[in-house]
Structure 1
Amino acid sequence: MNKTSSQIRQDMIKFYGPKWDEFPSVDLYMDQIVEYINTSLQKLGMKNETKFITKSMVNNYVKNSVLIPPIKKRYNKNHIGYLIVVCLLKQCFSLAEISEMIEIYRNLKDKKIQMHYNHFMVSFETCLHEVFEKEQISFQLYKDPTKEQALMESAIKTVVYKLYTQYLLRSSSEK
């Protein structure tokens, strides 16, 4: 069932993505990780039953080396973080482009994946809330950004503006 434009706007303004410390403390099996991610991202969907990820997608990401293979069929916090970022970015970018972005972050000297993930999610939420409340993103995430930071900021804003464009299309068709 489709959401109304008013419901979509409210969901976007209220969206809160899970932070690293909020991920399940135990490793998850395939069904569990798919359910966890779909539930976590549900408010971003234009329909009530939007699926952001399926088992086939997870297998495809592992096969294409976007995601490291599970350990004994179990997925840990690293997998969850990568999959959430992939689900958000795939709204606008090809799997090859996402792979390239992930590789850039894997090659950073600073390997603090938890910190990078949390910063990505907070930045995404901030941009999303601002565009749905003020109809634009009026700030920069970084002052004098590195290439990696500029890449992340650009990717986040691209996804947020795509979601906003879909919302505008929906609200214009309701009139």
Structure 2
Amino acid sequence: MNEHGRAITQEDIKPTVLPDAYLTSSIASALVDFKMPRFEDLPTVGLYRDQVIGIVEQTLGPLGTCIDGELLTPSMVNNYVKAGLIAAPVKKLYNREHVARLLVICIFKQVLSIQAIATLFKIQRVTYMVDVAFDYVAVELENAVRSAFSIDATPQPDSASHVTRESLLVRNAVTAFAAKAYLLGYLHYIGYEGSE
């Protein structure tokens, strides 16, 4: 039985689009070229919440068909402040660390609970500076997405200078995101409802 209460038929499970066709589509091709900014590329001036949301949406926009639920809303930002995931803004202005953390939250929340993300941030605070941690996430995310959406991609070795527990946690989180993104993107591509 499916969620609509009817028996699943052979037609329901018959593949209509093979994964190779998806990987050669314009959707997958755009994802292969996805670039995450580096910490030094993030704005150095204070930004209002709506500007921050705009930057996050613009940055992660290419992943749109592969994102489950809303990316970022004003109430989400407020909740992340209340939960301690990001610091409170100063005079309603957010800095590049806020933007970096919000970008990471938007990626990680696709595969992790908010509590798990908070734990990863606590680990990060005692082991790596924000810029180093963010740049590592950016490189590993690009590699994982490229690997998931390429027909002939070879998995990249860990980009950390020394593989640590922390780098393995991040690498596994972005790999999980890339796998989920592939599945959601494929389902969207073949037209399954509810895959957005």
The separation in 1 between residues aligned to 2:100 and 2:108, in whole angstroms, is 12
Deviations 1:14-68 (A, max 9, x none): 2111111211121101111111111111000118xx8511111000000111111
Question: Where does 1:1-175 land on structure 2 (aligned, <5 Å)?
Answer: 6-46=25-65, 51-108=70-127, 110=128, 112-134=129-151, 138-141=155-158, 145-173=163-191
Q: What displacement does 1:137 show?
A: 6.0
Classify the secondary structure of the residue corresponding to 1:16.
coil
- Contact between 2:143 and 2:156, CA under 8 Å: does it hold in 1? no
Q: After TM superposition, what 4+ stretches of structure 1 lie above 4 angstroms from structure 2?
A: none
Quick one: which amino acid aligns to residue 150 of structure 1?
Answer: L
Classify the secondary structure of the residue corresponding to 1:133.
coil
The separation in 2 between residues aligned to 1:164 and 1:143, in whole angstroms, is 28
Deviations 1:122-158 (A, max 9, x none): 1110111122113776344158721111111111101
Classify the secondary structure of the residue corresponding to 1:138.
coil
Q: What are structure 2's unaligned runs of at least 5 residues?
A: 1-21
Q: State TM-score, norm by structure 2.
A: 0.77
Segment drifting more, 8-17 vs 90-99: 8-17
- Contact between 1:13 and 1:132, CA under 8 Å: does it hold in 2? yes
Larger Rg: 2
Name the % identity. 28
The separation in 2 between residues aligned to 1:26 and 1:13, in whole angstroms, is 30
Q: What are structure 1's unaligned runs of at least 5 residues?
A: none
- Contact between 2:146 and 2:153, CA under 8 Å: does it hold in 1? no
The separation in 2 between residues aligned to 1:20 and 1:139, in whole angstroms, is 21
- Contact between 1:38 and 1:51, CA under 8 Å: does it hold in 2? no
Give the aligned length. 166
Q: State TM-score, norm by structure 1.
A: 0.86
RMSD, matched Cα: 2.1
The separation in 1 between residues aligned to 2:100 and 2:119, in whole angstroms, is 16
